[in-house]
Chain A
Amino acid sequence: MNGARLAAICGAVLFSHAALAEPDNYVEAARGKALITAGDCVACHTAPGGQSYAGGLALDTPFGAIMTPNLTPDPTTGLGNWTADDFYHAMHEGIGRDGQHLYPAFPYTAFTKVTRADSDAIFAYLRTLPAVVNAVDRNSLPFPFDIRAAMIGWNALFFTPGTFTPDPKRSDEFNRGAYLVEGLGHCGTCHTPMNAFGANKADVFLQANQIDNWIAPNITDDARLGLGAWSVEEIMQYLSTGQTANTVASGPMADVIVHSTSQMPQTDLHAIAVYLKQRGAAGSATPAVLAASDPHMQSGAAIYVDTCAACHTTSGAGIEHAFPRLAKDPAVQQDDPASLIRVVLAGTRAVATNAEPTALAMPSLGYRLTDAQVADVLTYVRNSWGNAAAAVAASDVAKLRTEVGGPVNAATP
Chain B
Amino acid sequence: MSRRLPSKDVVIVGLGWTGSIMAYELAKTGLDVVAIERGPWRDTASDFNIGTAPDELRYAIRQDMFLRPKQESITMRNNLSQTALPIRKWGSFLPGNGVGGAGVHWNGQTWRFLPDDFRIRSHMTEKYGAAIMPENNLIQDWPVSYADLEPHYDRFERVAGISGKAGNINGKIIPGGNTWEGARSRDYPTPPLRQGYAQDLFTKAATDRGLHPFPRPSANLSTAYTNTYGCRMGPCTYCGFCEWFGCANYSKASPQTCVLPVLVREKTFEARTNCEVTKVNLATDGKTATGVMYVDEQGQEWEQPADLVLVCAFSLFNVRLLLLSGIGKPYDPNTGEGVVGKNYAYQTGTGSTAYFEDAKFNPFAAAGSLGVALDDFNSDNFDHGPLGFVGGASITCAYTNGRPISYHPTPPGTPTWGSAWKKAVKETYQRVTSVGAQGSVMSYRGNYLDLDPTYKDPLGRPLMRMTFDYKDNERKMSGFMADRCDEIAKAMGAKQTVVKKLVGPWSVVPYQTTHNTGGAIMGSDPKTSVLNRYLQSWDVSNVFVMGASAFPQNAGYNPTGTVGALTYWALDAIKTYLKAPGPLVQA
Docked Cα-Cα span, A319 to B239, in Å, equals: 17
Docked Cα-Cα span, A360 to B226, in Å, equals: 13
| A361 contacts B by Cβ under 8 Å | yes
| A359 contacts B by Cβ under 8 Å | yes
Docked Cα-Cα span, A321 to B51, in Å, equals: 22
Docked Cα-Cα span, A89 to B231, in Å, equals: 46
On whether A322 and B250 interact (CB within 8 A), knowing A356-B232, A358-B231, A361-B45, the answer reads yes
User: Across the interface, which residues of A come within 8 angstroms of B51, CB to CB?
Assistant: 307, 363, 365, 367-368
B45 touches A311 (CB 8 A): no
| B234 contacts A by Cβ under 8 Å | yes
A357 touches B249 (CB 8 A): no
| A352 contacts B by Cβ under 8 Å | yes
Number of residues from A at the complex interface, CB < 8 A: 24
| A155 contacts B by Cβ under 8 Å | no
Q: Is the interface of A mostly helix, strand, loop or mixed?
A: loop
On whether A322 and B233 interact (CB within 8 A), knowing A363-B248, A368-B51, the answer reads yes
Q: Which chain B residue shows the least CB distance to A320?
A: B224
A360 touches B230 (CB 8 A): no
The minimal Cβ–Cβ distance linking A28 to chain B, given in whole angstroms, is 28
Docked Cα-Cα span, A355 to B262, in Å, equals: 10
A321 touches B45 (CB 8 A): no
A358 touches B237 (CB 8 A): no
On whether A310 and B265 interact (CB within 8 A), knowing A357-B230, A357-B231, A361-B45, the answer reads no
| B261 contacts A by Cβ under 8 Å | yes
B45 touches A323 (CB 8 A): no
A352 touches B261 (CB 8 A): yes
**Which positions 495-526 of chain B face chain A at CB distance < 8 Å?**
none
| A349 contacts B by Cβ under 8 Å | yes
Docked Cα-Cα span, A242 to B449, in Å, equals: 50
| A354 contacts B by Cβ under 8 Å | yes
A310 touches B45 (CB 8 A): no
User: Across the interface, which residues of B come within 8 angstroms of A354, CB to CB?
Assistant: 265
Partner of B232, one of A347, A360, A361, A364: A360
The minimal Cβ–Cβ distance linking A103 to chain B, given in whole angstroms, is 35
**Which positions 210-235 of chain B face chain A at CB distance < 8 Å?**
224, 226, 229-235
| B50 contacts A by Cβ under 8 Å | yes
The minimal Cβ–Cβ distance linking B265 to chain A, given in whole angstroms, is 6
A358 touches B265 (CB 8 A): no
On whether A311 and B231 interact (CB within 8 A), knowing A357-B262, A358-B261, the answer reads no
Docked Cα-Cα span, A356 to B227, in Å, equals: 11
B230 touches A322 (CB 8 A): no
Partner of A364, one of B49, B231, B235, B237: B49
Docked Cα-Cα span, A63 to B234, in Å, equals: 44
B250 touches A356 (CB 8 A): no
Docked Cα-Cα span, A367 to B52, in Å, equals: 10
A319 touches B224 (CB 8 A): yes
Docked Cα-Cα span, A356 to B257, in Å, equals: 13
**Which positions 1-60 of chain B face chain A at CB distance < 8 Å?**
44-46, 49-51
User: Across the interface, which residues of A come within 8 angstroms of B261, CB to CB?
Assistant: 352, 357-359
The minimal Cβ–Cβ distance linking A355 to chain B, given in whole angstroms, is 7
**Which positions 258-288 of chain B face chain A at CB distance < 8 Å?**
261-262, 265
B224 touches A321 (CB 8 A): yes
Q: Is the interface of B mostly helix, strand, loop or mixed?
A: loop
The minimal Cβ–Cβ distance linking B342 to chain A, given in whole angstroms, is 41
Q: Which chain A residue shows the least CB distance to B49?
A: A363
Docked Cα-Cα span, A364 to B229, in Å, equals: 28
A311 touches B230 (CB 8 A): no
User: Across the interface, which residues of A come within 8 angstroms of B235, CB to CB?
Assistant: 319
The digit string for A362-404, where 1 denotes a CB below 8 A from any CB of B, is 0111011000000000000000000000000000000000000
The minimal Cβ–Cβ distance linking A157 to chain B, given in whole angstroms, is 44
The minimal Cβ–Cβ distance linking A368 to chain B, given in whole angstroms, is 6
A321 touches B50 (CB 8 A): no
What's the count of A-B pairs with C-beta under 8 Å?
A: 61
User: Across the interface, which residues of A come within 8 angstroms of B239, CB to CB?
Assistant: 310
B49 touches A322 (CB 8 A): no
Docked Cα-Cα span, A95 to B120, in Å, equals: 82
**Which positions 298-313 of chain A face chain B at CB distance < 8 Å?**
307, 310-311
**Which positions 232-283 of chain A face chain B at CB distance < 8 Å?**
none
User: Across the interface, which residues of B come within 8 angstroms of A310, CB to CB?
Assistant: 50, 237, 239, 249
User: Across the interface, which residues of A come within 8 angstroms of B230, CB to CB?
Assistant: 355-358
**Which positions 526-542 of chain B face chain A at CB distance < 8 Å?**
none
On whether A322 and B231 interact (CB within 8 A), knowing A360-B250, A363-B248, the answer reads no
User: Across the interface, which residues of A come within 8 angstroms of B229, CB to CB?
Assistant: 357
The minimal Cβ–Cβ distance linking A141 to chain B, given in whole angstroms, is 36
**Which positions 265-315 of chain B face chain A at CB distance < 8 Å?**
265
Partner of A358, one of B50, B248, B249, B257: B257
Q: Which chain A residue shows the least CB distance to B238?
A: A310
Q: Which chain B residue shows the least CB distance to A354?
A: B265
The minimal Cβ–Cβ distance linking B222 to chain A, given in whole angstroms, is 12
B50 touches A311 (CB 8 A): yes
Partner of B234, one of A307, A322, A349, A365: A322
Docked Cα-Cα span, A355 to B49, in Å, equals: 25
On whether A311 and B49 interact (CB within 8 A), knowing A352-B265, A358-B250, A361-B44, the answer reads no
The minimal Cβ–Cβ distance linking B34 to chain A, given in whole angstroms, is 20
Docked Cα-Cα span, A348 to B491, in Å, equals: 51
On whether A311 and B234 interact (CB within 8 A), knowing A354-B265, A365-B51, the answer reads yes
User: Across the interface, which residues of A come within 8 angstroms of B249, CB to CB?
Assistant: 310-311
User: Across the interface, which residues of B come within 8 angstroms of A311, CB to CB?
Assistant: 50, 234, 237, 249
B262 touches A323 (CB 8 A): no
On whether A357 and B45 interact (CB within 8 A), knowing A320-B224, A363-B51, the answer reads no
Docked Cα-Cα span, A310 to B51, in Å, equals: 11
User: Across the interface, which residues of A come within 8 angstroms of B231, CB to CB?
Assistant: 357-358
A359 touches B262 (CB 8 A): no
User: Across the interface, which residues of B come within 8 angstroms of A307, CB to CB?
Assistant: 51
On whether A319 and B234 interact (CB within 8 A), knowing A310-B249, A358-B250, the answer reads yes
User: Across the interface, which residues of B come within 8 angstroms of A363, CB to CB?
Assistant: 49-51, 248
Docked Cα-Cα span, A352 to B249, in Å, equals: 17
Docked Cα-Cα span, A349 to B250, in Å, equals: 13
A322 touches B224 (CB 8 A): yes
The minimal Cβ–Cβ distance linking A381 to chain B, given in whole angstroms, is 16
The minimal Cβ–Cβ distance linking A140 to chain B, given in whole angstroms, is 33
Most buried by B among A310, A319, A358, A368: A358
User: Across the interface, which residues of B come within 8 angstroms of A365, CB to CB?
Assistant: 51
User: Across the interface, which residues of B come within 8 angstroms of A319, CB to CB?
Assistant: 224, 234-235
The digit string for A314-335, where 1 denotes a CB below 8 A from any CB of B, is 0000011111000000000000
User: Across the interface, which residues of B come within 8 angstroms of A368, CB to CB?
Assistant: 51
User: Across the interface, which residues of B come within 8 angstroms of A323, CB to CB?
Assistant: 234
**Which positions 184-232 of chain B face chain A at CB distance < 8 Å?**
224, 226, 229-232
User: Across the interface, which residues of B come within 8 angstroms of A322, CB to CB?
Assistant: 224, 232-234, 250
Docked Cα-Cα span, A367 to B55, in Å, equals: 15
Docked Cα-Cα span, A365 to B226, in Å, equals: 27
**Which positions 43-67 of chain A face chain B at CB distance < 8 Å?**
none
User: Across the interface, which residues of B come within 8 angstroms of A347, CB to CB?
Assistant: 49
The minimal Cβ–Cβ distance linking B301 to chain A, given in whole angstroms, is 28
Docked Cα-Cα span, A356 to B233, in Å, equals: 12
Most buried by B among A307, A323, A347, A360: A360
A321 touches B248 (CB 8 A): no
Docked Cα-Cα span, A367 to B233, in Å, equals: 26
The minimal Cβ–Cβ distance linking B224 to chain A, given in whole angstroms, is 5
A359 touches B45 (CB 8 A): yes
User: Across the interface, which residues of A come within 8 angstroms of B250, CB to CB?
Assistant: 322, 358, 360
A-B complex: 4 closest residue pairs judged by Cβ atoms? A361-B45, A363-B49, A357-B261, A322-B234
What are 6 pairs between A and B in contact, CB < 8 Å? A310-B50, A310-B239, A347-B49, A355-B230, A357-B262, A367-B51
B→A interface (CB under 8 Å): 44-46, 49-51, 224, 226, 229-235, 237, 239, 248-250, 257, 261-262, 265
Given A322-B250, A361-B46, output 13 extra A-B contacts at Cβ < 8 Å: A319-B235, A320-B224, A321-B232, A322-B232, A352-B261, A357-B231, A358-B231, A358-B233, A359-B45, A359-B261, A360-B234, A361-B45, A367-B51
